[in-house]
Amino acid sequence: MKQIESIKAFGGWLNRYEHQSSSCHCTMTFSVYLPPQAATGKIPAVYWLSGLTCTDDNFRTKAGALRYAAELGLALIMPDTSPRGVAVADAPDRYDLGKGAGFYVNATQPPWSAHFQMYDYVTAELPALVEANLPVLPGIKSISGHSMGGHGALICALKEKGAYRSVSAFSPICHPVKSPWGEGYFGAYLGDDKEQWKAYDATELIKAGHTAIPILIDQGTNDEFLAEQLFPQDLQAAYAEHGATLTLRMQEGYDHSYYFIATFIGEHLAYHAKALTDPH
């Protein structure tokens, strides 16, 4: 784990690291914001998973989250969205497959399976690395994300029972087995057996009986992807059938952009801070 950048912000430090990943078999880059409180003790962490075409840089520069993290005493852990490097498979003519489009699954199909093991990277390798090397409380973490990253946050929280104190998402892909994005990447990464796809679909996980951790979702009504790609109503219905708590806030007039995220990120981080500091 090598530090390659450090910028002071709001009394804390925005750092970038690279390391050789045992999951993805390449050099991975991630960013961490350590608020002022990290100078005197270990603190809880929020993991942020970004969307299609993004790197770790989008959230840290566009979301306006650092000020809130400094006030709340939260570390922000921001991984990349996919493996990178000349040896890593790619689909240069597509923005929704390959580099920048890991979709937080463990690929089983070649050539993707050699490097695209993002689920294991996000849920196991990266937390272990962060907790061993940075002033972050072991196991005291929450997760959030946007679009493809919202999908990632949901499936990580649902599949890894008890691993996250809270989960939230902006414009998540809630039912990817029925979305064009999901069909495209599931088919490539996981193969033709659609039953295998359901293991990485939040709505299908709830239908299959996974523990329904409370979820906060913000969704813009003017989101250009809402009707054909995201399907928050499907996840809401699955939660309702199980009598579980899903707060879906339809935000009038907002789109899919980082302006939308920046508007509500303070509320999401406060939501996570409450869960992370609750003694129960």
Enzyme catalytic residues = 147, 223, 256
In DSSP terms, 47 is beta-bridged to 77, 143
Residue type, 53: T
Cα dihedral angle (109, 115, 118, 122), rounded to 10 degrees? 150
Structure tokens at 117: 């093991």
* Contacts for 182 with CB less than 8 Å, ≥ 6 apart: 173, 175, 176, 197, 201
Structure tokens at 193: 């057996």
C-alpha 74: how far from its chain's center? Answer: 16
Radius of gyration of the chain (CA): 17
Among 165, 79, 84, residue whose Cα is nearest residue 120: 79
H helix and E strand count, the chain:
10, 9
- Rounded to whole angstroms, what are the CA distances from 64 to 72, 167, 258? 14, 19, 9
Are 38 and 12 a contacting pair, CB within 8 Å?
yes
Residue type, 157: A
By DSSP bridging, strand 136-145 and strand 43-49 are parallel
Q: What DSSP letter does each residue of 71-85 carry, written as one string?
A: HHT-EEEEE-SS--S
